[in-house]
């Protein structure tokens, strides 16, 4: 082999190693500012933080994923097929029966139906089986420092994550979650973990990563904290008169807050199928089917489900899965 060829091969090898090297946040100005804040306000050790961000990797596929959420690309008749399946119902029944005592205690203490708790965990992680494969530090760093549209939000979540892992005694480079940094059975963001997760089995550790008992209690506590009304209605099917304008229906996450009464909807031509208090506040939804549309009115408890994920289709999927699971276990 000639000397020139050997040099060329060495240069190619060096280029390949450089091109495959991880793109980390070591020296990133925004990361440096966050480190300053954590040192000053939370008493973190600067060198430990530098170690973390030197290992935190920018993930291009995370940026791609957050730009194309399922709700923006799928109509209702396709979206619901992700969650409303025989397999998810059957595994929901099995999860319910395995954890019945814990679920019933959570329902007694919070007023949140056991089947609703199971449905949330079922939709989020298939009952704890699919909790995410991204390192949380990579996901939150990528979105905090390279996703300007929601940089402020994810920077705060990254801060909460670092505080949380210190509180839990966990290496921040270890936990894994979704591409958005959500964690555990119920896919709590770090701020929600710190605010709503509970030690439901009394072992002095709040663990929704690995402990289904804590996860069940934490989901129930989240709903209670967001003012779930025990025994209250969630949705009602509706009939819609000809000529009702689109302005009456949910078109964005801003429209999820109930502002009109059922009486006002009825006067406009959107009439609930159920006998409900006409002064109850609600939202109106129209979902695309393969042929035609279906219409629903969502009440206060439906709004509470949307606090978990700001999506009408998500909340309807959770509700309908909960109803199917309740039917399977005789509730």
Among all residues, which ones are annotated catalytic?
124
| 20 contact partners, CB below 8 Å, separation of at least 6 | none
Nearest-angstrom CA–CA distance, 305 and 258: 13
Start-to-end CA span in the chain (Å): 78
Nearest-angstrom CA–CA distance, 256 and 309: 11
Nearest-angstrom CA–CA distance, 301 and 304: 5
Alpha helices in the chain, H assignment, sequence order: 3-20, 29-42, 46-55, 60-66, 70-73, 76-83, 86-98, 100-110, 114-125, 136-146, 151-168, 190-196, 212-225, 262-268, 300-308, 312-329
Q: How far is the CA of 129 from the CAs of 171, 182, 210, in angstroms?
A: 22, 14, 10
SS3 assignment, position 293: strand
Nearest 5°: phi and psi at 317?
A: -65, -45
Nearest-angstrom CA–CA distance, 309 and 115: 18
The DSSP element (H or E) to which 298 belongs, if any, is strand 293-298
SS3 assignment, position 135: strand
Nearest-angstrom CA–CA distance, 109 and 125: 24
Is the separation of the CB atoms in 315 and 309 below 8 Å? yes
Q: Which of 175, 168, 138, 186 is nearest to 22 (CA)?
A: 138
């Amino acid at each position: 082999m000639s000397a020139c060829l050997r040099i060329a091969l060495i240069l190619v090898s060096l280029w390949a190693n450089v091109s495959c090297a991880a793109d980390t946040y070591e020296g990133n100005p925004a990361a440096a500012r966050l480190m300053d804040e954590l040192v000053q306000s939370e008493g973190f050790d600067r060198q430990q933080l530098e170690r973390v961000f030197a290992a935190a990797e920018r993930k291009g596929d995370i940026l791609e994923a957050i730009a194309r959420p399922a709700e923006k690309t799928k109509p209702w008749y396709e979206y619901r097929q992700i969650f409303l399946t025989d397999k998810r119902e059957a595994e929901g029944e099995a999860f319910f029966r395995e954890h019945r005592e814990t679920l019933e205690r959570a329902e007694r203490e919070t007023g949140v139906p056991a089947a609703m708790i199971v449905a949330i965990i079922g939709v989020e992680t298939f009952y704890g089986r699919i909790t995410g494969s991204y390192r949380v530090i990579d996901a939150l760093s990528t979105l905090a420092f390279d996703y300007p549209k929601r940089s402020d939000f994810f920077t705060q979540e990254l801060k909460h994550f670092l505080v949380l892992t210190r509180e839990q005694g966990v290496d921040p480079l270890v936990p894994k979650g979704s591409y958005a940094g959500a964690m555990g059975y119920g896919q709590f963001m770090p701020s929600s973990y710190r605010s709503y997760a509970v030690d439901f089995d009394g072992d002095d550790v709040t663990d929704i990563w690995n402990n289904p008992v804590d996860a069940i209690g934490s989901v129930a506590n989240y709903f209670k904290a967001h003012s779930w009304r025990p025994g209250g209605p969630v949705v009602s099917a509706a009939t819609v008169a000809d000529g009702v304008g689109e302005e009456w229906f949910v078109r964005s996450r801003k429209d999820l807050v109930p502002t009109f009464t059922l009486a006002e909807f009825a006067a406009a031509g959107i009439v609930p199928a159920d006998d409900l208090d006409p002064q109850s506040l609600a939202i109106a939804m129209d979902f695309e089917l393969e042929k035609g549309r279906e219409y629903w009115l969502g009440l206060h408890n439906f709004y509470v489900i949307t606090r978990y994920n700001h999506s009408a289709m998500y909340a309807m999927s959770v509700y309908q899965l909960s109803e199917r699971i309740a039917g399977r276990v005789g509730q």
